[in-house]
Amino acid sequence: MKRFNPPTRVALILGLLAFSAACRAADEFALKNGDRVVFYGDSITDQRLYTTFTETYVVTRFPTMDVSFVHSGWGGDRVTGGGGGPIDVRLDRDVFAYKPTVVTIMLGMNDASYRPFDQGIFDVYSKGYRHMVESIKSHLPGVRLTLIQPSPFDDVTRPPTFPEGYNAVLVKYGEFVKDLAQKEGAGVADLNTPVVASLKKAAELDKTHADKLIADRVHPGPGGQLLMAEALLKAWRAPAVVTAVEIDLGGAKVIRSDNTKIEDLKTKDGVSWTQVDSALPMPIDLKDPVVALAVKASDVIAALNQETLKVYGVTAGKYELKIDGQKAGEFSMDALLEGINLAELDTPMTRQARDVHHLTIRHNDVHFQRWRMLQTPFEKDGLPSLAKALEGIDSLERDLIEKQRAAAAPKPHKYELIPKS
C-alpha cells in the first residue's frame, strides 16, 4: 500500500508563513483584555442569539482574555427609543451605566416602518442615529463603536410585499450606517449582505427549511443569527483557527501544533498523544436541520471553526480516532492526509464548549430578568430595597460568569488513532 510522506521543505515553509499570518490575525482581533462590550439594538438584539453566539465564541477562543458582555436590546426600539424609554434614557441606563469600552448598535428594522423608502422617515433615522453616536462618544471617551448595518427582511424565500421589497429599503439604511461609521472612525459590520446570500443558497439547497431561517421575515432563528454572529466576528477580524495539528507517523514527530501543546507522542500500534489546547471550538448544533442548512449555505465553518488534524505516514486503509477513550469517528487514509476538522465532530472539546454556551445563556437570562423585571419597572418608585435586590442578582450573575470562564479553561485530552485494516 502506498505510504504518504510528510510535507516537503517548501510545504513546511508555506505552513510556517500561514501560521505566522494566523498569529498576526489573532493579534489583530478587535476585542482586547479588559474590554466590556454592550450590544445595543431592537428585538433582533433582544433575542440574545447573535449576541450570545458572539460571546461564547470569544470566551471559548480566548479563554484567558478578560472580556465581559452586556446585552441591551429592547423589542420595538428605534433610534428615538421605544418601550424602554426615550433614547437618552435608554443610553443612560442601558449603555453608559456599564462604562463599556466597546458598543455595537443595530437599529433600522423598525425605523424604516415596513414600507417603501420614505425620505421623511429616513431623515428621522439619520438624525437620531447621529445623535446616538455623538452622545455615546461624548459620554464614553475612547469608546470603540461597531455600527451594524441592519439584518435583512426576508424577501428571498417569499415574494416581496411591494416593488423592490422591504429589504431594499434596509440596504439603503445600511449604506447610511456604513458612511456614518467611516466619518466617525467607527467599525462597521454588514449583517445584511452575507445573510441574504446564504438565504439564496439555502433556498436552492432546501426550500422547506430555508424559509425557517427567518420564519417571520424579521427575526432570524438560531440558524440565521449564527450567520449574523459570523458577520460581526468577521468584522472584528476573528481568527478561524481553533487548533491545527500535523503528525508524522513515520518520523514519530509533531510537525505542527498551532494553539495547542502536544506531549507523550507514541507510534506503536497506531499513534497516541496527549493534547492541551488553548481554545475550544465554537459549539454549533448541527442536529438542528435549520442550523445545519445555514452552515451548509455559508462559510461559517471555514471562517470561524477550524480544528484540524492531519496525519502523515499512514499505511492502513482506515483508522478509528478516540479522544479520552471515546470514539470520535473512523477516517480513511486519504481523509487523514487531507485533514479532518474535529470541530464538526461530537468530541469532548465540543461538549465542553456547549457547556460554556449554556452558561452564557444562563447569565444573560439572569441579567435580562434583573433589568426588565426589576430595575426598569421599579426605577421611579423609590423603593429602599431595590438597590439591594439588584446587587444580589448582580452577584448571582457574576457567579455564573465565573463558572462560565472556569468551564472554558483548557483540559488535557488523550488521543488514539488506531488502524482498522
If you average pLDDT over residues 294-311, what whole number do you get?
98
- The arithmetic mean of pLDDT across residues 7-33, rounded, is 56
12/210: higher pLDDT: 210
Instruction: Provide the pLDDT for residue 159.
Output: 96
Q: SS3 of 338, please?
A: helix
Give the whole-angstrom CA distance, residue 96 versus residue 383.
23
The whole-number pLDDT of residue 269 equals 78
Question: Residue 11 pLDDT > 60, yes or no?
Answer: no
14, three cell numbers: 508555506
Confidence of residue 6 (pLDDT cuts 50, 70, 90): low
Residue 134 has φ and ψ, to the nearest 5°, of: -60, -40
> Can you tell me the mean pLDDT for 91-111?
98
Label the pairing between strands 85-86 and 81-82.
antiparallel
Burial class (CB within 10 angstroms; exposed 0-12, middle 13-18, buried 19+) of 334:
exposed
Q: What is the pLDDT of residues 244-295, one digit of tens each?
A: 999 999 889 999 999 999 999 998 878 999 999 999 999 999 999 999 999 9
**Which residue, among 99, 208, 188, has the nearest Cα to 147 in the 3D structure?**
188
Average pLDDT, the chain: 93
Would you state the cell numbers that stand for residue 91, as one nine-digit string? 443610553
326-335: pLDDT as tens digits: 999 999 999 9
Query: Domains of the chain (ranges plus CATH)?
Result: 31-235 (3.40.50.1110), 240-421 (no CATH)
Mean pLDDT of 392-420: 97
Q: Is the dihedral of CA 256, 257, 263, 268 positive or negative?
A: negative
Q: Are 262 and 254 in contact (CB under 8 A)?
A: yes
Report phi then psi at 36, rounded to 5: -125, 125
Beta bridge partners of residue 416, listed in sequence order? 272, 322
Average pLDDT (204-222) is 97
d(CA 294, CA 220): 11
Kindly give, in sequence order, each residue whose CB lies less than 8 Å from that of residue 123, ignoring residues fewer than 6 positions away: none
- Between CA 189 and CA 229 the distance in angstroms is 10
Give the phi and the psi of residue 154 in degrees, each rounded to 5: -75, 95
Tell me what pLDDT residue 27 has: 56
pLDDT tens digit string along 62-71? 999 999 999 9
Q: pLDDT tens across 128-137, in order?
A: 999 999 999 9
Q: Assess whether pLDDT exceeds 60 at residue 22.
A: no
